[in-house]
Amino acid sequence: MDKFLCGVDLGGTKLAAALFTPQGELVAKDMVHDHSDKDGDGQVLAIRDLLTTLFRNNNIVPADVAGVGIALAAHINFKKGMIITTSNFVHTITDFPLVEKLGAFFPGMKIVLDNDANAQAFGEHKFGAGQGCESLVFVTVSTGIGGGIALNGKLHRGRTGTAGEVGHSIIDLDSEIQCTCGNYGCTMALASGLFFPDLYRMHLKRGVESSIGITTETADKMNGPAIKKGWQEGDPVSKAIVEQSAAVVGAELFNIFSMLDPELIILGGGLMALGEEYQNRIRDEFRCHTYKMMVGEMEIKLAETGVDAGLIGAAVLVLE
Amino acid sequence: MDKFLCGVDLGGTKLAAALFTPQGELVAKDMVHDHSDKDGDGQVLAIRDLLTTLFRNNNIVPADVAGVGIALAAHINFKKGMIITTSNFVHTITDFPLVEKLGAFFPGMKIVLDNDANAQAFGEHKFGAGQGCESLVFVTVSTGIGGGIALNGKLHRGRTGTAGEVGHSIIDLDSEIQCTCGNYGCTMALASGLFFPDLYRMHLKRGVESSIGITTETADKMNGPAIKKGWQEGDPVSKAIVEQSAAVVGAELFNIFSMLDPELIILGGGLMALGEEYQNRIRDEFRCHTYKMMVGEMEIKLAETGVDAGLIGAAVLVLE
């Protein structure tokens, strides 16, 4: 009998776990929201309890699952199954052997840990927009920007597991906007939701006028949905931010093409909700950079694994 | 008996061919300089004649070689053994089936065609600075900037063979310097020898004064060696160009690290002759971008295959 796949999505606001068939169909899902202030050992216990409940409620034993994949937004040492550092929990977790600790509660079970962008890249490769593709790069444009690279049916993680960090590629050496990584002019700092307030203030300083009454003092509330609303209402600053984001993401897709020449780039993440005009702008910016360098057309598709992308991505890690 | 490796380096000024032992030791080398105004078929005949002479002078027959690898600075369709387009011959060669045409003169012989940066990357992996490395990126900083990626003992060429084109990565979206590829702010346009005259003029326009009497009219002669001399003589413009080149190359190495997290980056190409201070500046710029993102130290080494890098690179292609 084919075994279930089990995925754990360890997010900043929710901790979710799900069972899937080997074909990627969702069987059952459960989640909690009271984990984010726990330390590493606390997270392990929360995951253990969630899995135990999930298994019991579905009348299965650990031997019925092919393994558990865990994905989170963090710096991960894949080979060692360790969290190097987190940034979205109340207490930063560093150098924590999550796989080993969780494994103590499920002897003999295969447990795999990776960052969320890698997991989603592999999820898209197995059950999403990238099925049948030999080489793809998944780019998530959201609060931040991340990515994952799948080559020849495997994730390319690199020497220490940090490959695919396209959000920290420097694309504007002269930029005045500093990223959380410390550098200026990363794609993330110029195009992701986290920086929309900074970008709003920058455009105001440059003399672009807000038509929705936002000042440098109130710019902090200009997150993704607020920028979308402002853009729809004709606010020149919101428009400039959306256009800049599309220009930067499009140029970064060109840089990915220049470096890796993949069959496919898959776009995902919350900012895709800015809509088709934003997505088409990204594609247009990409194409206007390729000139004669493109042989045939490289595909750019939207992610398809949808609302459970994190869970299915985590679950398929055990198939790699 | 182990067979010889045979490499052909089809350059803009010289066409060279060489035999190597399976361990990469040079056995014999020959070259001509009268090929650059020939068309595709003319190049095939020139290569045939050079190989025939090389084999005869060394008392070997085609069956004594494991195969012939051909490398040139061009857009290559590796799978089809075709030149897509060249830029350094008198007549541009496009859509030309070089492997098939040369193969007609050497029935049964394995013939492999690739661009020079890929060939050098694989040469470094087999017999140079990258021996024993699972993942490396070779970057050549010269008249232009190119690169090659070796992963798990194979070249990563991508969908159409253009992977590794790090010279065309956009690193300064606001730049006023246009690259031969059509884009503004590529690493190549900001850091390679071909653009030193443009950069010299740009700095003059910005008010930096030449202390060696160079004007916008005479800036065309400021190639790599001239900039090196100017720098050594204390010319502020030459100094600014060298520092900018190092800053851009260092940032691009950081972008390569962010995307691929390789074990090793190998630096080669004519501009390494600017010397140790230039090379160290590149390393320093790289490190100052990595902040806390680096786990352990990624190595940056200089290329080791030396004067015959193009030939040994071409020859090892048959070992891939």
Testing the interface with B: which of A170, A177, A286, A287 to mutate, by most B Cβ within 10 A? A170
- What backbone phi and psi angles, to 5 degrees, belong to A136? -145, 155
Tens digit of pLDDT for each residue in A147-164?
Answer: 999 999 999 999 988 899
Please report residues of B whose CB lies closer than 8 A to that of A148. Answer: none
Contact residues on chain B for A248, CB-CB shorter than 8 A: 173
Nearest to B166 among A84, A135, A258 (CB): A258
Name the pairing type of β-strands A154-155 and A111-115: unpaired
Contacts of A295 in chain B (CB under 8 A): 75, 77, 84, 160-162
Among candidates B181, B289, B296 on the partner chain, residue whose Cβ is nearest the Cβ of A291? B181
Task: Give the closest-approach CA distance of B54 to chain A in angstroms.
Answer: 36
B201: nearest Cα among B241, B244, B141: B241
Cβ–Cβ of A258/B161 closer than 8 Å?
A: no
Q: Chain B contacts of A162, Cβ < 8 Å? A: 258, 261, 293, 295
Residue ranges of chain A with per-residue pLDDT less than 50 = none
Smallest Cα distance from B31 to chain A, Å: 31
| A154-155 and B74-77 strand pairing | unpaired
Q: Show Cβ contacts of residue A209 under 8 Å, excluding neighbours closer than 6 positions.
A: A236, A237
* C-alpha B277, offset from chain centre: 22
> Is the four-CA dihedral B123, B126, B131, B134 of positive or negative sign?
positive
DSSP letters for chain A: -PPEEEEEEE-SS-EEEEEE-TT--EEEEEEESS-TT--HHHHHHHHHHHHHHHHHHTT--GGGEEEEEEEESEEEETTTTEEEEESSSSS--EEE-HHHHHHTTSTT--EEEEEHHHHHHHHHHHHSTTTT-SEEEEEEESSSEEEEEEETTEE--TTTS-TT-GGG-B-BTT--PBPTTS-BSBHHHHHSGGGHHHHHHHHHHTTPPPSS---TTTGGG--HHHHHHHHHTT-HHHHHHHHHHHHHHHHHHHHHHHHH--SEEEEESGGGGG-HHHHHHHHHHHHHHHGGG-SS--EEEE--SGGGHHHHHHHHGGG-
Chain B residues touching A84 at Cβ < 8 A:
295
Output Rg (C-alpha) for chain B, integer angstroms: 20
Question: What is the dihedral sign for C-alpha A182, A188, A189, A190?
Answer: positive
CA distance B197 to B189: 11
Q: What is the pLDDT of residue B73?
A: 87
Strand-by-strand arrangement of the A94-96 sheet? A74-77, A82-86, A94-96
B133-162 tens-digit pLDDT: 999 999 999 989 999 999 999 999 999 888
Q: Answer whether A158 sits within 8 Å of B261, measured CB to CB.
A: yes
Chain B residues closer than 8 Å to A94 by CB? none
Q: In this predicted structure, what is the pLDDT of residue A291?
A: 72
Q: Residue B58: pLDDT above 70?
A: yes
> Quick check: A255 and B255 CB within 8 A?
yes
| Lowest-confidence region among A15-19, B90-94, B165-169, B218-222 | B90-94
In chain A, what residues touch B151 (CB-CB under 8 Å)? Answer: 151, 156
Q: Which of B75, B259, B265 to mutate to test the interface with A (most CBs of A within 10 A)?
A: B259
Candidates B244, B232, B234; CA nearest to B211 is B234
Indicate which of B82, B134, B137, B159 best probes the interface with A, i.e. most A CBs within 10 Å of its own CB. Answer: B159
d(CA B178, CA B203) in angstroms, rounded, equals 15
Put simply, the answer to whether B256 touches A259 (Cβ < 8 Å) is yes
* Tokens describing residue B126: 């087999």
Q: Is residue B295 scored above 70 in pLDDT?
A: no
B254 neighbourhood in chain A, CB within 8 Å: 170, 183
- Residue B1 has a pLDDT of 59
Residue A25 CB contacts under 8 Å (≥ 6 apart), including other chains: none
Contact B173 A289 (CB under 8 A): no
Name the closest residue on chain B to residue A288, using Cα atoms.
B183
Cβ atoms of B18 and B29 closer than 8 Å: yes
To the question of pTM greater than 0.95 for the whole model, the response is no
Confidence band, pLDDT 50/70/90 cuts, at residue B293: low
Q: Are B74 and B86 in contact (CB under 8 A)?
A: yes
Q: Which residues touch B77 (CB under 8 Å, ≥6 apart)? A: A295, B83, B84, B160, B161
**Under 8 Å between Cβ of B271 and B135:** no
Task: Classify strands A65-72 and A4-10 as parallel, antiparallel or unpaired.
Answer: parallel
CA dist B168 and B162 (Å) reads 11
Return the HEC string of chain B. CCCEEEEEEECCCCEEEEEECCCCCEEEEEEECCCCCCCHHHHHHHHHHHHHHHHHHCCCCHHHEEEEEEEECEEEECCCCEEEEECCCCCCCEEECHHHHHHCCCCCCCEEEEEHHHHHHHHHHHHCCCCCCCEEEEEEECCCEEEEEEECCEECCCCCCCCCCHHHCECECCCCCECCCCCECEHHHHHCHHHHHHHHHHHHHCCCCCCCCCCCCCHHHCCHHHHHHHHHCCCHHHHHHHHHHHHHHHHHHHHHHHHHCCCEEEEECHHHHHCHHHHHHHHHHHHHHHHHHCCCCCEEEECCCHHHHHHHHHHHHHHC
Summarised one tens digit per residue, pLDDT across range A113-125 is: 999 999 999 999 9
CA atoms within 13 A on the CB side of B215: 1
Q: Does B289 sit within 8 Å of A170, measured CB to CB? A: yes
pLDDT score for B225: 95
> Is A259 in Cβ contact with B169 (below 8 Å)?
yes
Q: What is the pLDDT of residue B292?
A: 63
Give the residue, B35 or A126, on which the prediction is more confident: A126
ipTM: 0.93
CB B290 within 8 A of CB B254: yes
Pairing of β A82-86 and β A94-96: antiparallel
B75: nearest CA in chain A?
A293
| pLDDT higher than 70, residue B275 | yes
**Cα dihedral: A93, A121, A81, A25 (round 10):** 100
Say if CB A91 and CB A286 are below 8 A apart. Answer: no
- Nearest CB to A181: which of B158, B171, B291? B291
Q: Output the six-digit token pair for B16.
A: 């060279």
**A188 CB-near residues (< 8 Å, 6+ apart):** A144, A145, A167, A168, A179, A180, A181, A194, A195
Per the CB < 8 Å rule, is B161 touching A261?
Answer: yes
Is the CB of A173 less than 8 angstroms away from the CB of B168? no
> Which tokens in the block code for residue A137?
């790069």
pLDDT of res. A306: 83
Mean pLDDT for chain B? 94
Q: Count contacts between A and B (CB, < 8 Å).
A: 136
